[in-house]
Amino acid sequence: MNFNKNNNGLPISNFDKEIKFGSSKIDDNLLWNSFKEGSRKAFCYIYNENFDKLLLYGIKITQNQDLVEDQLQDFFIYLWNKKENLTIKYSITNYLLFAFRYRLVHTIKKENKNKDLSDWESNEIEEIGMPDQDHLSRVNNVVDVLPIKQREIIYLKYFESLDGSEIADIMGISKGGVYNLLSRAISNLKRKLSDEKLNARV
């Protein structure tokens, strides 16, 4: 089946238009199967529903937005070309987060062979209390200065509302590692917020 392509090589030209199949949420399996069968509307819907999420997630991994955008466009081209062989385990969004993370991290590591990338390794420490959702929405700027994997896990937990098992699958670490890394991220976040308040008083 031949499609018109946009400037990025993707097989549709109207990504900026919101496409809906109905008023209720579409079943992921039905949507994914339609996409695998070559449905242009299904692909467009998946793109529109997930592009911004993947972009924000990618920027939590690396603040090189140009790299993230380039990799994201290539990622959707890859999805279209390989659609017949792709299978989702949980949800479409979870699969896309996992697959895009793998692609982006692989590219970053390839481009930084001689640099210290130890920050990509998980951290093992005791779990502590977690801040509430409203509080986190007010401290996004502070989150952005956390180490890479801490930014990433905060985003997945509090902005995508994923559970420990889902995060473990996406990040490629154990469920225990998820809670350990999350606790360190929260501890670091609280410390930076405390420092910010002290600086504001000076």
Residues 26 and 94 in one domain: yes
CA distance linking residue 72 with residue 159, whole number of Å: 19
Residues 110 and 24 in one domain: yes
CA distance linking residue 179 with residue 5, whole number of Å: 43
For 156-165, what is each residue's pLDDT tens digit? Answer: 888 787 888 9
Residues 109 and 87 in one domain: yes
CATH code, domain with 81: 1.10.1740
> Pick from 172, 188, 40: which is nearest to 104 by CA?
172
List the domain range (segments joined by +) for residue 196. 121-202
pLDDT < 50 regions, the chain: 1-8, 11-19, 22-23, 116-137, 202
Residues 143 and 179 in one domain: yes
Backbone torsions φ then ψ of 158, nearest 5 degrees? -105, -20
What pLDDT is attached to residue 158?
A: 80
Residues 105 and 150 in one domain: no
Burial of 95 (0-12, 13-18, 19+ CB in 10 A): buried
CB 170 within 8 A of CB 156: yes
Residues 84 and 36 in one domain: yes
Give the number of domains in the chain.
2
What pLDDT is attached to residue 5?
A: 44
CATH code, domain with 147: 1.10.10.10
The continuous run of DSSP H or E covering 92 comes out as helix 92-111
User: 95, 115, 135 — which closes off a domain?
Assistant: 115
Number of H helices, E strands in the chain: 9, 0
| pTM recorded for the entire structure | 0.64
What pLDDT is attached to residue 23?
A: 41
Residues 100 and 3 in one domain: yes
Residues 17 and 93 in one domain: yes
> Pick from 154, 152, 166: which is nearest to 104 by CA?
152
User: 115, 146, 175 — which closes off a domain?
Assistant: 115
Residues 126 and 201 in one domain: yes
CB 112 within 8 A of CB 85: no
Residues 100 and 160 in one domain: no
